[in-house]
C-alpha cells in the first residue's frame, strides 16, 4: 500500500502516478522559502502522515522513502522556527531592558516612543543601548529614533 492511501503496490500505473505526485510535492515544498506559511503548514500535515506511516507495522519501500525524504525538510522547518523564536525573544528582551533604563533615567516614556523602540530590530536596539548614554532629554531619544 502506498502511503496508506489504499493504492496497492501491485497496481503499477496508479502507484507510479502517486509516487510521481509525491516526489513533485516534496520537491515543491523544498523550493518554498523558509518563512512561507504554506510550507510550515504543509510540513506539519506531512509530518503527521509520516508519523502515522512509521506506526504501521507493514511499511512499503515507498512509505520508507517518503519518510526519509520528508524528514530533513521538516527538521529544517523546525530549526527555522526555533531560530525565529530565539531572535524574537532576544529582540523583546533587549527592548524591555532599554525601556526600563530609559524610564529610570527620564521617567514615564510616551507610548509612541515605547512602540517605536519595541519595533526596532536587534541591531538598532544595540545601537540605542549605547546612544542612550549620551541622551539628556526625551527629545534626544525622539531625535535618535526619527533622524
Q: Percentages helix, strand, coil for the chain, rounded to the nearest 5?
A: 80, 0, 20
Q: Is the pTM of this model over 0.85?
A: no
Is the pLDDT confidence value at 46 over 60?
yes
Q: How far apart are CA 85 and CA 97, in angstroms?
A: 18
- Condensed to tens digits (0 to 9), the pLDDT of residues 50-81 reads 676 666 666 677 777 777 777 787 788 788 88
65 burial (CB, 10 Å; 0-12 / 13-18 / 19+) is: middle
Work out the pLDDT band at 1, boundaries 50, 70, 90.
very low
All residues at 6 or more sequence positions from 43 whose CB lies less than 8 Å from its CB, including other chains: 29, 70, 73, 74, 77
Average model confidence (pLDDT) for the chain?
81
At 126 the pLDDT is 96
C-alpha cell at 74: 521538516
Q: What is the 3-state secondary structure (H, E, C) of 5-61?
A: CCCCCCCHHHHHHHHHHHHHHHHHHHHCCCCCHHHHHHHHHHHHHHHHHHHCCCCCH
Cα torsion 78, 84, 87, 91: sign: negative
Is the pLDDT confidence value at 6 over 60?
no
- Condensed to tens digits (0 to 9), the pLDDT of residues 10-26 reads 555 666 666 677 777 77
Q: What is the rounded average pLDDT of the residues 107-121?
A: 96
Q: What is the rounded average pLDDT of the residues 94-111?
A: 96
Domain ranges for the chain: 12-84, 87-145
Amino acid at each position: 500500500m502506498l502511503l496508506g492511501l489504499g493504492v496497492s503496490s501491485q497496481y503499477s500505473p496508479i502507484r507510479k502516478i502517486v509516487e510521481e505526485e509525491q516526489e513533485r510535492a516534496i520537491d515543491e515544498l523544498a523550493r518554498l522559502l523558509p518563512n512561507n506559511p504554506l510550507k510550515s503548514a504543509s510540513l506539519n500535515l506531512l509530518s503527521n502522515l509520516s508519523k502515522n506511516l512509521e506506526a504501521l507495522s507493514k511499511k512499503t519501500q515507498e512509505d520508507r522513502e517518503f519518510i526519509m525524504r520528508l524528514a530533513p525538510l521538516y527538521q529544517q522547518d523546525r530549526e527555522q522556527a526555533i531560530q525565529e523564536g530565539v531572535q524574537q525573544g532576544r529582540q523583546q528582551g533587549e527592548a524591555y531592558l532599554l525601556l526600563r533604563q530609559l524610564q529610570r533615567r527620564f521617567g514615564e516614556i510616551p507610548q509612541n516612543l515605547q512602540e517605536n523602540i519595541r519595533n526596532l530590530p536587534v541591531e538598532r536596539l544595540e545601537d540605542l543601548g549605547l546612544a542612550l548614554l549620551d541622551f539628556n532629554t526625551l527629545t534626544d531619544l525622539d531625535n535618535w529614533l526619527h533622524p
